[in-house]
Structure formats: C-alpha cells, structure tokens
Amino acid sequence: MKISINIFFRLFLVLLFSTVQNSFAQNLSDTEGWSSIEVGLNISKKLSFSVSEHLRYRNKISTMSNYFTQLETSYQLFKDFNLGGGVRFIRENDDVGNIQGLETHFRYQFEINYKHDLKMLTLFYRLRYQHKNELGLPKEEVNIPNEYIRFRMGLGYKLNDLGIGLRLKGELFNQIQKENLENGFNRYRLSFETYKKFKNFGKITIFYGFQKNFNRLELKTKSIFGLKYKYSFDFY
C-alpha cells in the first residue's frame, strides 16, 4: 500500500514540476471548455452501462471544437477490479486548410480499472487502449488510425456525510500510431475535480485540467475548464 502511494506522488510531482517549469518558458496556447451530460444504467452490482453527450470548445472557449456521443460499459471481475469498454461517435470542426467543415470520426477503447480505499482516501488506476479514425474519406486517401495507450493514476477524498468529493489525477499518453515519427510518450494531463452528489438528482462535477504535448514537433499546452452532470438508474 505504501509503495502505491509513493508511486502516485512521484508521478504527480514529476508532472507538476514539468508543468511549472514550462509555464515560465511560454504562455498557455489555448483555453478550452468541456461539458457533458451522462445517464448511467446499473444493471447489477457488477454490470453497468452509460450513454453521454459531450460538447467542447477551443480558442479561448469561443469556437466549437467537437461534439460526440459516447457509449460505455463496465463489468466488475472482482472487488475493486473492473474491465471497461466504449465507443465514441465524433463530429470534429475542421476550420484549418482549404477544405473545412465538420468531420466524422469513430473511436473505441478498452480499459482496466483498479482502486483501493485508505479510510477516507481512494487510490485509483486506469490503463486504456484507444483507437480513432476518420470516417467517409475518399478511397484514394490513406486512413491511418490514431492509437494511444494511456495510464492514469488518481487520488480521491470523500466527505461521505455531505456527498462531496475531491479528485486529483495524472495521466500519461503513449502514442503507437503507424508510420508516425512522434510515437512514444508525448502528452500528459493533470486535473483536479470536485463533485457533489444530490439525493434523487444525480451528481455534478466541475474540474480544471492542464494538458501539455512534449517530444513532438508541435508543442501545445491547454487549460481545460469543465462541467459534468450524471444521473444513474439502479435496476437491482
């Protein structure tokens, strides 16, 4: 248990130091706004499904970046260990180049989740593979999928009596796209979120994230401000 805590804080401190160091070297390139509404269906104590709608803005939260529908499922193999998967139907706003407009993309993902509780604290981990490609391209155009393996660690704190929780997360992105010279670890994301559960109303979450690309020809940083709402139905 002590080893897991040490690993989490070492990873977080490395990412935080890199963030602070680079914030003095250059200004953040963009600010984005992310929002989502989700409905969860808990079929049993082990099996659940969800559907969610997402809307994201970029360019100082002034231009629509994309919107998408996401379907997910999760199954608990044993206590604190879950397998999950999902698909995402995306409409992306391409406003660069000669041909502009909304593009259609499709993404699927598989993941393993594990958590363990330490009294009022919770450590959680996620390992995810994701595969994304554009739909409707002409036959003469080569459609190379964009693939990532992502590893996320987090620390949660709950005030059970008030239904309020805090979460701190750090995530590394490992790109494995074919014929790409920028493959490897080239992005990280740090985030802090707080949520409130309401009786018979659902859960509202607000969060802030910082994302940075590295080991790439085009280095980008972004601040992300987000709002999420989720309502779940229990069928057991």
- pLDDT per residue over 130-158, tens digit each? 999 999 888 777 788 999 999 999 999 98
Token readout for 236 is: 């057991």
Length of the chain: 236
Under the banding of pLDDT at 50, 70 and 90, the label for residue 11 is low
Least confident of 27-31, 92-96, 170-174, 202-206: 27-31
Distance in angstroms (rounded) separating the CA atoms of residues 148 and 71: 19
Distance in angstroms (rounded) separating the CA atoms of residues 67 and 24: 33
Taking CB atoms within 8 Å and a gap of at least 24, the contacts of 41-46 are: 41/232, 41/233, 41/235, 42/232, 42/233, 42/234, 42/235, 42/236, 43/235, 43/236, 44/235, 44/236, 45/76, 45/236, 46/75, 46/76
Domains of the chain: 2-234 (2.40.160.40)
pLDDT at residue 10 tops 70: no
Distance in angstroms (rounded) separating the CA atoms of residues 111 and 128: 4
So what's the pLDDT on residue 8? 53
pLDDT at residue 46 tops 50: yes
Distance in angstroms (rounded) separating the CA atoms of residues 199 and 109: 32
Under the banding of pLDDT at 50, 70 and 90, the label for residue 24 is very low
Amino acid symbol at 173: F
Interval 49-65: pLDDT, tens? 999 999 999 999 999 99
Under the banding of pLDDT at 50, 70 and 90, the label for residue 27 is very low
In the chain, pLDDT over 70 holds for what percent of residues? 88
Q: Tell me the whole-structure pTM to 2 decimals.
A: 0.86
pLDDT at residue 19 tops 90: no
Token pair 């139907």 in the structure block, residue: 89
Please provide residue 112's backbone torsions phi and psi, each rounded to the nearest 5 degrees: -120, 130
pLDDT, averaged across the chain? 88
Q: Which residue, 202, 200, 116, 207, is CA-closest to 156?
A: 116
pLDDT at residue 22 tops 50: no
So what's the pLDDT on residue 222? 94
Identify the residue with better confidence: 232 or 4.
232
